[in-house]
Amino acid sequence: MTTFDLTNKCDLNCIHCIRINDRSRDLDVENWKNILKAFYPQETKIVLAGGEPLLYQGIEELLAMVRSKYPKDQKLFKQLTKGFDTPSALFEAVENNKLVVTTNGTALSDRKISMLEHYGVTAWLSLDGVTPKVFENVRRGASFSKIEKNLGLAINRIPVHINFVIMEQTLEDVIPAIEFVERLGINLIRFTPVREISRAKTNGIKIFHEKFVALLEKALTMQRSTPTNTLVLFNLLQTQKVFLMHQGRYDDISEQFGQHPNMFLEEKKCQQLKDPGRGVVNPKGHYTGCCNASSLPYFDMGNLLKTPLATAIGHQPVLDIFEKTPELCANCDFLSVCKGGCRLMSYERYGNPLVMDPTCPFLDERLQS
């Protein structure tokens, strides 16, 4: 999966966003076509993102070009929209669908839905809250009632999956979100812990390990009493897994998730930086293998308008950052689990990517020693 951030422009000002909301000129369609074509040999899934990609003027032309390479699978599209009998079948279909657009939902008008329907596009909609109080506090400038209306227009015409970012500000709406998407007939929701980078770092947005684990246990309890048809995915960051293992709770929680066919614990691992099918291209054409680092020049691996893709992927200075082990992590018993944690969060917090991940449960202990 490769993400192409078509634009930085966005009509919202979310408190945890990892992208830069600016009004500078976007790349023209021809430049984006050339960049997209460079990825064709990899047969990668194409995710058009932003900013808000539905605000990019040339998006329909790009969708048409991608569909000339990957023809629309009408049967698959209909199944993704209507649902599947088994979670494994849904997983396979999500993986096989080659064209995805992310959206905040504000621009999901009837015309845009018709466009996505025509080209067989799955929409991943960001919904960090299912009550006006929580949602509008996090997604500044959005109207929950408008998003709810747009969802109602879309869900029977295109596949809609939900991304929900877990942070202190959204904790109270996590379990209600599962009930919300179940009621609407949406077949997949993914919960992802907030990354303490960019605007989230500036605004002091975070999620504490103890509260995240309590949330997992609450979701498991809910699933035992009221099983859902919706596929529910919880991303688990590397340092959260270390926290659970250190407490001796990882095996138990993992086993409990294994008992529920519609709930999965996804262990978040760093992108394979040398894999051209996994990376992100920012609105200026710069490539990086780190899925969250497209706004940071420090992790830039090359501008694809000037640099061949193979050269960018092999950009050794950035690869070295992810291959080296932070000094304080060298003798840790859990090094094989987290590989030193998130270099991006270390860079954002300390200005140095080779310091311990600031969300590591052993950070204070190691710094004192």
Strand partners, 4: 48, 281
Report the pLDDT value the prediction gives residue 128, as an integer from 0 to 100.
Answer: 97
- Helix%, strand%, coil% for the chain, nearest 5: 45, 15, 40
Strand partners, 48: 4, 101
Coil, strand or helix at 347: helix
The DSSP line for 285-324 is: SBEESSTT-TT-GGG---BTTTS-HHHHHT-HHHHHHHHS
Report the pLDDT value the prediction gives residue 220, as an integer from 0 to 100.
Answer: 93
**CA 212: distance to chain centroid?**
18
Per CATH, the homologous superfamily of domain 2-269 is Aldolase class I (3.20.20.70)
**CA 66: distance to chain centroid?**
21
Report the pLDDT value the prediction gives residue 73, as an integer from 0 to 100.
Answer: 87
Report the pLDDT value the prediction gives residue 106, as an integer from 0 to 100.
Answer: 96
Domain boundaries, the chain: 2-269, 324-369
Q: What is the C-alpha separation between 142 and 127, in angstroms, rounded?
A: 11
Q: What is the C-alpha separation between 108 and 342, in angstroms, rounded?
A: 33
The DSSP line for 100-145 is: EEEE-STT--HHHHHHHHHHT-EEEEE---SSHHHHHHHSTT--HH
Report the pLDDT value the prediction gives residue 43, as an integer from 0 to 100.
Answer: 77
Report the pLDDT value the prediction gives residue 276, as an integer from 0 to 100.
Answer: 62
Q: What is the C-alpha separation between 71 and 309, in angstroms, rounded?
A: 24
The DSSP line for 156-171 is: TTS-EEEEEEE-GGGG
User: Residue 24 gets which letter from DSSP?
Assistant: S
Tens-binned pLDDT, residue by residue, of the chain (369 aa) = 899 999 999 999 999 998 876 667 889 999 999 999 999 887 788 999 999 999 999 999 999 999 999 898 888 888 888 777 777 788 788 888 889 999 999 999 999 999 999 999 999 999 999 999 999 999 999 999 999 999 999 999 999 999 999 999 999 999 999 999 999 999 999 999 999 888 999 999 998 999 999 999 999 999 888 888 889 999 999 999 999 999 999 999 999 999 988 899 998 766 556 666 678 999 999 999 888 888 888 999 999 999 999 999 999 999 888 888 898 898 899 998 988 888 999 999 999 999 999 999 998 777 666
Q: What is the C-alpha separation between 306 and 104, in angstroms, rounded?
A: 31
Q: 257: left (phi > 0), else alpha (psi -120 to 50), else beta? A: alpha
Strands 279-281 and 263-267: unpaired
Q: What is the C-alpha separation between 160 and 145, in angstroms, rounded?
A: 17
> Per the omega criterion (within 30 degrees of 0), is the bond before 51 cis?
yes
Cβ atoms of residues 360 and 212 within 8 Å: no
Cβ atoms of residues 187 and 174 within 8 Å: no
Report the pLDDT value the prediction gives residue 312, as an integer from 0 to 100.
Answer: 92
